[in-house]
Structure 1
Amino acid sequence: MPDCNHCGAHVSDQFARVFADEYGEVHACPSCSANAGIAEVARERAHKA
């Protein structure tokens, strides 16, 4: 089961398919970022890592 790499919260397989990066890593989820900005926060965190 996929988890958010930032906060460790569980995310659904469907969420991971939509928001994971090209390596399958989820960098932001509803538990650690605003729903409206998940894609933007994920891109920012992926670039910093």
Structure 2
Amino acid sequence: MPECNHCGAHVSDQFARVFADEYGHIRACPNCSANAGIAEVSKERAHEA
């Protein structure tokens, strides 16, 4: 089951297909970031890693 690499929360397969990077990492989810900013937060966290 896919999970957020930032907070460990479970996410759906559909969410993972949309927001995971090319390595399958999900750096932001609805549990640890605002829904409207998931893509932006994910990019910021990927840049910081």
Sort the TM-score into its range (normalised by shorter chain): over 0.9
Which runs of 5 or more structure 1 residues have no equivalent in the other structure?
A: none
Letter in 2 for 1:6: H
Secondary structure of the 1:44 match is helix
Give the length in aligned residue pairs.
49
TM-score normalised by length of structure 1: 0.97
Provide Cα deviations, 1:1-47, integer angstroms capped at 9, x if missing partner.
Answer: 00000000000000000000111100000000000000000000011
Which runs of 5 or more structure 2 residues have no equivalent in the other structure?
A: none
* Distance of 2:33 and 2:9 partners within structure 1: 12
TM-score normalised by length of structure 2: 0.97
Secondary structure of the 1:27 match is coil
Give RMSD over aligned pairs.
0.4
